[in-house]
Amino acid sequence: MKFLIECTFVYEHPNYNSGIQRVVRNILANLSAKSTQYELIPVILRDRKVFEVKKLEPEGMEMFRANLLYAKLVQLRMRYWLFFDRLSARWPFVSSGLMETVLLYAMKLAGLAVFYVPITFLSRICRQKEIGQRIVELKVNKGDVLVLLDSSWHADIFSLVDELKARGVVIVSVIYDLIPLTHPRYCHRGLVPIFQHWIKWAARTADGFMAISQTIRDQMKEYVHQIVGEAKSGDQWFDYFYLGTELDLMEKKSEIRRELQNAFNGPNGHALVYLMVGTIEPRKNYGFLLDAFELLWQKNEPVALCMAGKVGWRCEDLVARVKNHHEYNKRLLMFNDLSDTELEYCYRSSRSLVYPSYVEGFGLPLVEAMQRGLPVMASNIPVFREVGGDFVAYFDPDKPETLTELILDYEKEGIFPAAKKLAEWSWLTWEESAKQFLNKIVSHNPAVSRPG
């Protein structure tokens, strides 16, 4: 029996470093290094075949090829569809379903020639050279366990996984969140139907589900009951694991740009910078932070706000508001391309993490900050309560004044306004996270022989 840990997206997009990619890399690294009692194999699903991954990241000319050709076109394609998202939200498309449909198909036709054909061509060239070097085809047997760890909703893997399941392979689906299903208004419009199709397929296909929090596990269980019925879902299992906190790419870039150092060590002093980490997108609620800090600046409070996250979707007005703000590059800072080393510097140099998200699957920056001794002020949502407990100070994500009051109390009293002291808090490493991840999957598979 083999445990096949799927990592297709991370393999094909080595330059991406969002939350899911960080999880995949760290789980794979710690499983392969620490878990020797089981046969654990990283795999990708491609061309209706399963390939074992020998090297997760390309090197030398392979990296050059991935960076400058295939990866660049993929990035441009993503920007192309973000442009569609912005355009379709404007007149006349927003007021006419017919006009929006015409725009969609026009852009699909244009994208076919500009992106799909060259990406497919380049991909086939690179793939042929990868076989035998980075990947080798793998024989999958009845009873093997395929764990869909990566973000598989956008990949063409459904028919292959269905075939593997029919041959007796156990399918485990990792669930990061259900946001495109439960809160589609916060998502890129192109993602919503793709994700909803995938989650319905996963609900009917997977033998078990591993969520990244109890909150998401319970949501997934309820959803599967709705889709397949309680009787059938009784044959499926639901569990969760927690994520680790180390920043695994720190060694790749050890320098901290002077601009960032100056931002934290300027006239305001590094102790007065409040930090937000996350992609700039609607559900992260960045506008709330601006509102809250403007209230503080009106009171002449010498505090600064640093926004650290790549520019996402439906955020043009927010970004323009930041860049046109009279405090921009003074008490209002924004960095969209921090390395892990620079992110570590921010965590260790800030006064507090402020995290106003409306909805999350876990909230990785929350535990990354707290593990480094940085206290957290966060929106009062269930998953943050689950992860942060009484060690976090909570506010209402719809009322900026509730965050303002927390900060005013903190600055006035010098005591962080949480029920418990952060010094008493501890969390998992990625090694412990990977161990928890594997042990829980094993516990739900009675065919696996436990080590003595």
The per-residue pLDDT for 147 is 98
| Closest residue by Cα to residue 39 from 138, 166, 163 | 138
* pLDDT single digits (tens) 315-372: 989 999 999 999 999 999 999 999 999 999 999 999 999 999 999 999 999 999 999 9
| Closest residue by Cα to residue 25 from 323, 252, 217 | 252
Please report which confidence band the pLDDT of residue 269 belongs to, taking 50, 70 and 90 as the band edges: very low
Query: What percent of the chain is modeled with pLDDT above 70?
Result: 89
Greater pLDDT, 307 or 255 = 307
Query: In the chain, what are the domains?
Result: 3-58+134-244+432-443 (3.40.50.2000), 250-427 (3.40.50.2000)
The answer to whether the beta carbons of residues 160 and 189 sit under 8 Å apart is no
Asked if the model's pLDDT at residue 446 lies above 90, the reply is no
> Which segment of 49-58, 161-170, 197-206, 400-409 scores lowest on mean pLDDT?
49-58
Asked if the model's pLDDT at residue 275 lies above 80, the reply is yes
Please report which confidence band the pLDDT of residue 126 belongs to, taking 50, 70 and 90 as the band edges: low
Please report which confidence band the pLDDT of residue 308 belongs to, taking 50, 70 and 90 as the band edges: very high
> Which segment of 67-76, 111-120, 408-417 scores lowest on mean pLDDT?
67-76
The per-residue pLDDT for 231 is 67
C-alpha distances out from residue 212 to 228, 238, 367, 386, 402, Å: 22, 11, 13, 11, 28
Cα torsion 268, 273, 279, 281: sign: negative
What's the whole-model pTM score? 0.85
Greater pLDDT, 123 or 341 = 341
The per-residue pLDDT for 125 is 64
* pLDDT single digits (tens) 17-69: 778 999 999 999 998 765 557 899 999 998 889 999 998 877 654 544 544 56
The most confident of the ranges 56-60, 255-259, 432-436 is 432-436
Please state, in angstroms and rounded to a whole number, the distance separating the CA atoms of residues 306 and 293. 11
Asked if the model's pLDDT at residue 74 lies above 80, the reply is no
Mean pLDDT of 263-274: 71
Query: What percent of the chain is modeled with pLDDT above 90?
Result: 63
| Closest residue by Cα to residue 308 from 289, 288, 266, 280 | 280
> Which segment of 260-264, 367-371, 384-388 scores lowest on mean pLDDT?
260-264
> Which segment of 21-30, 239-248, 409-418, 442-451 scores lowest on mean pLDDT?
442-451
Mean pLDDT computed over every residue of the chain? 88
